[in-house]
Structure 1
């Protein structure tokens, strides 16, 4: 009986390993970059409570064209949102004026726009189902 339970436990473990969701890949294409200066920062969020505060993945690099592409591997299936900003002066933050309005270009997934602040996670969200998915965002 112990051998049977041991074999059963191994089979369950193997099933769980092979039935887990395969990691997905997300390609983020950023278009309409008006000035080729500074760097572009891309952040991916997976929950409304962490939106714009704790990203799941992020990337950034110097702007070298009016259109750039970022690739994120290892994301699981689920709901995500993206924020992007152009750090024109490479100071590591999105600059704003005295009223708190951003003075550097920024964008969100679904090309969502906010009123009196950033858009909500719900307005920006999209679903990754499997394989490779491409998102196009206009800066």
Structure 2
């Protein structure tokens, strides 16, 4: 009886700790040219545009397009921010007036007049595969 009870507890604890995950494919289109690379971060609300992203990647560009895939992403709400690092200095460059020199985009492709907000950029990961398209 003790053994049966322990097996039951183990099975229940595995179900409680098992977390559903997904593969997230991020497609970036309309990139100005194939110079440099794309830097991308995918974050939960707590870290969006504030801290190091939960998931990050760099990718080369081919024919004005690139795809970045993250695997084992826990279900939840996320937002993506990305930019075209043409000179590969690992930072977004700005004009003297504060306007970006390099292309950029965020999930949901909002029309921006300033930094993106969480509400503008968030999306749900709630099935085994999610595709997000960003246009620069």
After TM superposition, the score normalised by the length of structure 2 is 0.88
Partner of 2:47: 50
Partner of 1:15: 15
Partner of 1:77: 75
Q: Secondary structure at the match of 1:11?
A: helix
Aligned-residue Cα RMSD (Å) equals 1.8
Q: Which structure shows the bigger proportion of residues in helix conformation?
A: 1
Q: Secondary structure at the match of 2:108?
A: helix
Number of corresponding residues: 135
Distance of 2:3 and 2:78 partners within structure 1: 44
Deviation, 1:7, is 4.2
Distance of 1:63 and 1:81 partners within structure 2: 21
**Is 2:134 the counterpart of 1:132?**
no
Return the match for 1:119 from 116, 127, 135.
116
CA 1:3 to 1:78, structure 2 compared with 1: closer, same or farther past 3 Å? same
Deviation, 1:14, is 3.5
Distance of 2:79 and 2:15 partners within structure 1: 31
CA contact (8 A) 2:23 2:130 kept: yes
Q: Which structure 1 segments of 5+ residues have no match?
A: none
CA contact (8 A) 1:114 1:120 kept: no
Distance of 1:4 and 1:133 partners within structure 2: 40
**Is 2:34 the counterpart of 1:36?**
yes
Per-residue CA distance 1:86-118 (angstroms, 9 max, x = gap) = 001111100011222211100000002332x21
1:79-98 to 2 correspondence within 5 Å?
79-98=77-96
Distance of 1:37 and 1:70 partners within structure 2: 17
Partner of 2:102: 104
